Amino acid sequence: METLQVIWYILIGVLLLGYSILDGFDLGIGVLFPFLAKDETEKRVLLNAIGPFWDGNEVWILTGGGALFAAFPKTYATVFSGFYLALMLVLFALIFRAVSFEFRAHSESGRAFWEWSFIIGSFLPALLYGVALGNVVYGVPLKVINGNIEYAGNFFTLLRPYPLLIGIFGLVMFTMHGATYAALKSEGDLYHRSRKIVLSTWWAFLVLGLLTFIATAFLIPGSLTRFLAWIAAIVAWLGWYLVRSYTIKGMDAAAFYASSLAITGLWGIIGAIHFPNLVRAINDPTLSLTIYNSSSSKLTLSVMLIIALIGMPLVILYTAYIYKWFKGKVRLEEGGY
């Protein structure tokens, strides 16, 4: 039973990692859209760079939510009810972002509105995902109501300094990742502008990473004693270092992969310092939701694991195929966005 619980903890982490790498770059491009694109041609290049991928990328977060519901239903219930307003903001942002692709392409009079829908619809999730993660790791007030563990705060409880720091750090991570992808898919002035933003966000990533490290060391008990977290930190540092090195050398694909490596290391740190918790109770540690006290039955975990072992390779193969099919620089043709 404990082995199954640990496996599902890792699997959900892998799904969230996959989402961060894949949807992270198109969220980053959305946030950077007004700074990267200076004319209609450059705007179309960016939109067509992510157009074939963005909806498939979001499958990973949907699968992650489904996996959390199946494997750890008590945690799912607590998080999705307690963070309801924040999650609804993310949901509406993603809806407006999704429709903005098509409406912008077919509505000249409302083009500015739909462009800003795309920008704001990218900014809010990029920020609020990190804020939510920061609350889960740092801890939220929980209470027992009718035998169920429920969130005891409100929307503004989520906007504390540490979660906001994680949110801003995540936002910068996505923008750096998005800029590396924009450089990979573009040419000319847009390409050079993307490379400059990579180098700018690289420094912001360093500063916020150091602030996050210091804050975590002081606020998360025992975080510096987790050996695996230090291994993951080395991976994150290596990826971050290589982003700048490869960007300067003009090795754009390698810079994108290095950015993905940095994201992998960061998720490794989170997984290591947070284990076995899923949601920490800051007011009473005994109320914390862990993989041991909030999981489904052994039968459910076993059956779902079989389904996951069949389904995840198919998702990975499809993702690899679609990225291989649309590799290379964007060439604008008739149609598209």
Average pLDDT, integer, range 27-34: 94
Average pLDDT score over residue span 81-104: 87
* Listed range (3-12, 38-47, 145-154, 176-185) with the worst mean pLDDT: 145-154
Q: Among 66-75, 76-85, 174-183, 239-248, which stretch is predicted with the lowest mean pLDDT?
A: 76-85
With residue 110 as reference, give the H or E element that holds it. Answer: none
Average model confidence (pLDDT) for the chain? Answer: 90
pLDDT band at 334 (very low <50, low <70, confident <90, very high): low
Residue 267 near residue 20 (C-beta atoms within 8 A)? yes
Which residues make Cβ contacts (< 8 Å) with residue 282, sequence separation at least 6?
A: 138, 139, 140, 141
pLDDT score, position 228: 94
Per-residue pLDDT of 105-129, as tens digits, reads 777 778 889 999 999 999 999 999 9
CA pair distance 207, 214, nearest whole angstrom: 11
**H/E element holding 25?**
helix 2-36
Span of 103-117, 127-141, 245-259 with lowest mean pLDDT: 103-117
Q: How confident is the model at residue 157 (pLDDT cuts 50, 70, 90)?
A: confident
Considering the chain, what percentage of its residues have pLDDT values greater than 70?
A: 99
Q: Residues with Cβ < 8 Å from 290, sequence gap 6 or more?
A: 276, 277, 278
pLDDT tens digit sequence for 191-217: 999 999 999 999 999 999 999 999 999
Give the range with max mean pLDDT: 85-94, 234-243, 301-310, 314-323.
234-243
What DSSP line would sit under 52-68, residue for residue? Answer: TTHHHHTHHHHHHHHHH
What is the model's pTM? 0.93
Strands (E), 18-166: 142-145, 148-151
* Comparison of pLDDT for 38 and 267, the residue scoring more: 267
What count of Cα atoms within 13 Å lies in the side-chain half-sphere of residue 335? 2
Question: What per-residue confidence (pLDDT) applies to 104?
Answer: 83
Please give the residue that has the higher pLDDT: either 279 or 336.
279
For 130, residues 6+ apart whose C-beta sits below 8 A from its C-beta are 163, 166, 167, 168, 169, 170, 171
- Name residues whose C-beta falls within 8 Å of residue 179's C-beta, 6 or more positions apart in sequence: 28, 29, 32, 36, 194, 195, 197, 198, 201
